[in-house]
Structure 1
């Protein structure tokens, strides 16, 4: 059994990221309006969603799309969170692709006199979602992406001290973005597997706009999805 007919929901933060993915997919696409969200449909298998910035709006938008698909009797088999990201230098240089084997909420918890406590240590919820190992492995092989932890934050890192503190708490972290954990929470609530892949547009640390390479990162995203679509179309969702 293959997943050539598996429907994939691809969630980005903003339209520019969505359009970068769309350039790698078949056909001109068409707009599909649903309650609360608008999708770009490419071929029979892909719906692209500019879900909004931040984990809360991303979760709400993705959940709306997943619910509409389920009620229509045509559910998604996979959710992909994607877009650009800040990378931890030198592990994830500008222009590289990063692939999450763990999607972790970096600032969901409490600050204490002894340091940061994740919400799990307070006895609530979760802070990490793990994409299917087989899909991560096949995606890395197809795209050449670096594999590690991708952090989700509500406030992006803007100082060297904050970047160092995050890396100390999460030694395997390669990048940070603002939506992955929210997307993963929505997918988990619907029992749908999730994948996160990002193109690094800037180094994490002091905010230096002259060092950002957003155009190059968006182009890398298009290239990545050109290589990724055969993986998504052949991956067996029962092989977690």
Structure 2
């Protein structure tokens, strides 16, 4: 039984691949853990997990960078997403948004049941098809969901693991604040470094 590490892109976990001497590939099996590169977005993530996820894994660890709505979270900080929502899943009713549960078509929010001793900040995230970069849509999203972070894959991983009753964690490192698009303020390099420092430590500890 082992851990499946899930990331959208190889770039987000490149330092971990280098540290363990692992050649780049979309699916990598090692003695102590496996790595799955899904591609960006919830559809690609769902398809990749459908191909590889099964009950031989005792933990799924979704990792990557994310944007933060919460300015109290520092750029580069590594956080534990303990609640994630498909933010766009629902229907528009003129100026109002009706969520999937309100429509009576099931749940749109998921939380892991995994018991952990992590010391990371626990935050509430949303999963989106389109990352926010418009002041008006950002404000509407905050009013509707009160999120702290956003990614393009997290809730899909939570959903898949819930369906198979597999323990799951989602760990993200903050690369930017959610604001009108401003690439000059992004700290992607710092976020990737800090994420991989944490990931390498977690894998080493789990393997002992």
**Alpha-carbon distance, 1:120 to partner:** 1.3
Within 5 A, what are the aligned runs for 1:58-137? 58-67=45-54, 75-113=56-94, 115-132=96-113, 134-135=115-116
Secondary structure (helix, strand or coil) at the match of 1:184 reads helix
Q: Which residue of 2 aligns with 1:165?
A: 140
1:53 aligns with 2:34: no
Within 5 A, what are the aligned runs for 1:118-197? 118-132=99-113, 134-135=115-116, 138-139=117-118, 141=119, 145-171=120-146, 173-197=147-171
Q: 2:203 aligns with which of 200, 213, 229?
A: 229
Q: Tell me, which stretches of 5 or more residues in structure 2 are unaligned?
A: none
**Alpha-carbon distance, 1:31 to partner:** 6.7
**Alpha-carbon distance, 1:20 to partner:** 3.5
Normalising by structure 2, report the TM-score.
0.90
CA contact (8 A) 2:90 2:100 kept: yes
Residues 133 and 11 of structure 1: CA distance in aligned 2, closer, same or farther (over 3 Å): closer
Within 5 A, what are the aligned runs for 1:2-17? 6-17=1-12
Secondary structure (helix, strand or coil) at the match of 1:48 reads strand
**Alpha-carbon distance, 1:189 to partner:** 2.3
CA contact (8 A) 2:175 2:188 kept: yes
**Alpha-carbon distance, 1:212 to partner:** 1.1
- Once the two structures are overlaid, the 10-residue window that deviates more, 162-171 or 150-159, is 162-171
Show CA shifts across 1:28-84 (max 9, x none).
23577xxxxx31234x221111101110110110121115xx5xxxx1111111101
CA distance in 2, matches of 1:149, 1:156: 16
Secondary structure (helix, strand or coil) at the match of 2:57 reads coil
Within 5 A, what are the aligned runs for 1:23-62? 23=18, 27-29=20-22, 38-42=26-30, 44-62=31-49
Show CA shifts across 1:77-112 (max 9, x none).
111111011111313231112211112111111121
CA distance in 1, matches of 2:129, 2:109: 15
CA distance in 1, matches of 2:114, 2:6: 20
- When the two chains are superposed, the root-mean-square deviation of aligned CA atoms in Å is 2.1
Show CA shifts across 1:143-188 (max 9, x none).
xx221211100111012222222222222x2210000111222222
Q: Which residue of 1 aligns with 2:13?
A: 18
Q: Tell me, which stretches of 5 or more residues in structure 1 are unaligned?
A: 1-5, 33-37, 235-240
Secondary structure (helix, strand or coil) at the match of 1:134 reads coil
Show CA shifts across 1:2-47 (max 9, x none).
xxxx4111111111013244356xx423577xxxxx31234x2211
Secondary structure (helix, strand or coil) at the match of 1:77 reads strand
